Structure 1
Amino acid sequence: MGLIGEVLLLPFAPVRGSAWVIRQALNEAERIYYDPATVRAELAQLEERLESGEIDEEEFDRQEDELLDRLEIGMRGSAGTDEWTTR
Structure 2
Amino acid sequence: MDFNDPTWKGPFPKTGSSSEKSCSRKITGRCAMFLVDDILFFPAKSLVWVFRELHNAVQQEKTNESDALTTELSELYMMLETGKITEEEFDEREEQILDRLDEIQERDQ
What TM-score, normalized by structure 1, do the two folds share? 0.50
Higher share of residues assigned helix: 1
